[in-house]
Amino acid sequence: MKLSIVTPFGKIYEGEIKEATFPGVEGEFGVLDGHSPLITNLQPGVITIKKENGKEEVIAVNWGYVEVTPDHINVLADGAVPVSGSTESEIAKAIEKAKQLIKDASDSDALVATVASKIESAARNI
């Protein structure tokens, strides 16, 4: 299925994916091909994408909407930072930025800490 993540500052991600997990307001939920149509709000957290080739990618979002249809997913985020990079320092910078994004968006320390640990563990897999 197709996933596209856009923010007011441009497109963050677009492409074919196998599976994705979103931080919905009612809890985390995963989406596979053929999911029933759904629209919900997102809370600060990370979107985990599993690509067709099995590779995982993590994108931190602060707030937004997600619209799921059986063949595509649209994410309208206020801010999003992909945790990726080709060099160590780039990845470190991306992690810093992603953490800052979550920190600014949320006032719950527990949530910030959970998300931060998720970002870090994801970064180890890059």
Partner 1 sequence: MATLKELKTKINSVKNTQKTTRAMKLVSTAKLKRAEEALLLSRQYAKKIEEVTNEISLKLSSIKESINIRAFSNIKQVKKVDLIVVTADKGLCGGFNHQTIKTTLKKIEELKSQNIKIRLVVVGKKAIEYFRFVGIEMYEAIEGLTSAPNYEKAAELIEKSYNDFVNEEIDNIIIIYNGYVNKLVQKIHVKELLPIEVKKQNETNEFLEVEPTDDYETVLESLVKKYIEYIMYYTLLDSLAGEHSARMQAMDAATNNAKEMVHQLTLQFNKARQEAVTRELIEIVTAIEAMKKK
Binding residues for partner 1 (CB under 8 A): 4, 6-11, 24-26, 36-41, 65, 67, 69, 74, 76
Distance CA 1, CA 79 (A): 23
The smaller minimum CB distance to partner 1, of residues 24 and 85, is found at 24
User: What is the smallest separation between the CB atom of 65 and partner 1, expressed in angstroms?
Assistant: 6
Assign 21 to helix, strand or coil.
strand
Distance CA 107, CA 123 (A): 24
The smaller minimum CB distance to partner 1, of residues 43 and 119, is found at 43
- Torsion sign over Cα 57, 5, 97, 84: positive
User: What is the smallest separation between the CB atom of 85 and partner 1, expressed in angstroms?
Assistant: 21
The smaller minimum CB distance to partner 1, of residues 68 and 83, is found at 68
The smaller minimum CB distance to partner 1, of residues 11 and 93, is found at 11
Distance CA 3, CA 53 (A): 15
User: What is the smallest separation between the CB atom of 74 and partner 1, expressed in angstroms?
Assistant: 5
CB atoms within 10 A of CB 100: 14
User: What is the smallest separation between the CB atom of 4 and partner 1, expressed in angstroms?
Assistant: 7
Contact (CB, 8 A) for 83 and 122 = yes
